[in-house]
Amino acid sequence: MIKYTGFIRKIRYYSESSHYIVALLEVEGEQKLITMNGYMSNFNEYDKYLFYGNYEIHPKYGQQLKLDHYEVVLSTDEDEMIKYLSSPLFKGIGPTQAKYIVDALGKDTLTLIKEDKHHLDNVKGMTAVKRDYIYEVLTANDYDQEVIQFFMGHGISMRYIGIIQETYKEKTLEVLQNHPYQLIEDIDGIGFKTADELALKLGGSKESPERLKAAVLYSVKRGCFDSGSTYMLYDEIKKAYHKNIGYIDESVFNEYLEILVDEEFVIQEGELYYDKELYDSEEIISSFLKKINSYPEEHYDEKEVGRLLTNFQDKFGIEYSKKQKEAIDYFLKYPMMILTGGPGTGKTTTVKALIRMYRSLYPNESISLVAPTGRAAKRLSELTGLEACTIHRELKWDLHKNTFAMNKNNPLSSEVLIIDEFSMVDSLLLSKLFEACRKVHKVLFIGDYHQLPSVAPGNVLKDFIESHLKAIELDEIYRQTKDSGIVQLAHQLIRQEVHDLSLFDQYKDINFFNSTNFEVVKNVVMIVKKAIESGYDQNDIQVLAPIYKGVAGIDALNLALQEVFNPKEDQDEYRIGQTVYRVGDKILQTKNRPDDDVYNGDIGVLVEIGRKDGFEYLEDTLIVDFDGNFVEYTSKDFLTFTLAYCMSIHKAQGNEFKIVIMPVLDDYYIMLKRNLIYTGLTRAKQSLFILGSPKAFLYGIQNVKDAKRKTTLTSKINQEQSLNLYDFLEEEESSLGETVDESGYQEDLPFEDVPF
């Protein structure tokens, strides 16, 4: 093994998430700078290091030193130590103070400080703040490097080291060594396979109780999230367990399943096994609905409402249908209502009217308008003229603690709750919202149950409707949209009346192009170029696809469309993995970032690439503009966004675009479902282009056998009223005497006419 003593002089690449570094070293005995790659943390240009490693030949960059491990060299030369302690590394310590320190402690100054910071107490001009700061700087690297060496020494992937350290901080090694399966619960993206690999590399036994118990629990949780269900059956859990473990001893499996039930991590009801959080979510939702539905009918001034309705119709030149008027009347009278309907049926104008009328009648009532995505919330706000926000923002979600500040002990002040795009809301999130809505006495759910259900477990809107909760479905197509092929196609899909492609010949705003898998990219590019020539831009045009891989997948389409919308010219660009991002690129956010007010499904534009300059900036920074909200991304955030020229249909929910281009191919066979195609085409406002196979399209729109989500919400809602209102009021009264911490009650949050 080669050993070098020297300094880091230039950083070519550094990842904060993995601590991987490529740097140029100035070392003793070498005339030229040496290229080194490996794993480091908290490095700087002022420290001297001992680098240990071996040379390797990189196929592209040539000979490099592969770092095995390193040490910080603590100088014993007085002049060097004074220069070091007075460097920018130790802010507030100038040459004079540095000399006082070295004069007092001698040649072992740095070693003595690291051993015990109180060696500094008798130094002239020293304060407790300065003492602690010097000590922290000198020791900052020690623990991080210990963690790195732990990972490398056990052959553990460095992929998650950044997020693991961020989560556990000084307890990182303790958790890794003693509780590796805890990572499954605490860190998003780490499943049983990753945690198990770590545990076994650390010498864990395949028969350890921790391993087997974790495998059973993960089988229940992951099974629910993968299927969108709130419970699993015994055989399903056993099958998943076998897949995770690789074998099955049924008696052992039964033993740990029973333990999890006894400990209430898993809830068993007969043959059903629930993840505890999902079980609780259904209980909370059903109890809330029972409470809301117990409120009496409200009486309003019918003459005043009639006058307001007439004025509204005259002002906007519309005439409300019988069902629309029924919806307005019911909302004003009763505590809860579902408003549903396909495109063009007037949901928007109905909602606008009923909100305005309610505010006229009850001007002092507090109304919360929420939606599951940022785009949907923005649309709701534009529609109503009132402030709307995401559910996460309304509940003040803390990303780092995975908690909601607004909760059952710290409720919202709202009295009326209106939720748009309700089909996208999952059981867990809705239960958290309902817990915080203890003052709410009226709720309106708005959504289209023909669309895709939520990504997370639950099928809430469909369950509500099947529970016979009051739902008014608008089914009359507004006269303004009767000539829209998009609207007609959507409603024919709902009625299952599409048996061929003849409808595409009747309307100018819908088009079907026969395309093979290998022709899709070329044809999509052709359509996009014609749209651009017609005056549309990247915000108007959206390509939608159901899968990421393949010749006609999202990834391939994004690369091709980037060259159309934002070809390489003089703008700056930045590579992340296999993707090159350029200033001006259309960007899709894929994870919620409540601190920055940007959420999964939001679309922005990359406006700046800020590169680190030596040691002044250790992190490269990308800045994305989300409609005036400028969000900074560093390496730990780079996997939370992607190109947005093409996106998944799931991610597009809650958004609308002037032009939608949607491939429907044989390659997508496993994904072809009527609700998927319906959701995609209803994102289009002006023009829809479908490319692919007629056979695949017809198969997809006829396939209504979507994987059945297993939930028990409907049965729980329909159970006899079990809520004791007196108990609820008693609970409210008892909470009045409680002191609520400003951070709120913190609970874990478990786990979106242009013919060319």
User: According to the annotation, is 348 in a ligand binding site?
Assistant: yes
User: According to the annotation, is 230 in a ligand binding site?
Assistant: no
Question: Do 345 and 478 touch, CB atoms closer than 8 A?
Answer: yes
SS3 call for 111: helix
Angle (nearest 5°) at CA 396 between 390 and 402: 105
- Written as one letter, the residue type at 75 is S
What is the C-alpha separation between 103 and 88, in angstroms, rounded?
20
User: According to the annotation, is 344 in a ligand binding site?
Assistant: yes
The secondary structure of 352-410 as a DSSP string is: HHHHHHHHHH-TT--EEEEESSHHHHHHHHHHHSS-EEEHHHHTTEETTTTEESSBTTB
User: According to the annotation, is 345 in a ligand binding site?
Assistant: yes
What is the C-alpha separation between 159 and 130, in angstroms, rounded?
36
What is the C-alpha separation between 525 and 564, in angstroms, rounded?
7
User: According to the annotation, is 744 in a ligand binding site?
Assistant: no
Q: How far is CA 543 from CA 522, 538, 645, 755, in A?
A: 13, 10, 6, 17
Q: How far is CA 11 from CA 24, 49, 615, in A?
A: 6, 15, 8
Q: Which residue(s) pair with 25 in the sheet?
A: 8, 34
Q: With the CA atoms of 690, 692, 694 and 700 taken in that order, what torsion angle do they form, in degrees rounded to the nearest 10? A: -80
Question: Do 266 and 260 touch, CB atoms closer than 8 A?
Answer: yes
Nearest residue to 650 (alpha-carbon basis) of 546, 523, 513:
546
Q: Which two tokens stand for residue 46?
A: 């002022």
Nearest residue to 546 (alpha-carbon basis) of 694, 684, 678:
678
List Cβ neighbours of 322 (8 Å cut-off, separation of 6 or more): none
What is the C-alpha separation between 234 and 242, in angstroms, rounded?
12
SS3 call for 184: helix
Pick out the residues of the known binding site. 344-348
Pick out the residues of the known binding site for ATP. 344-348
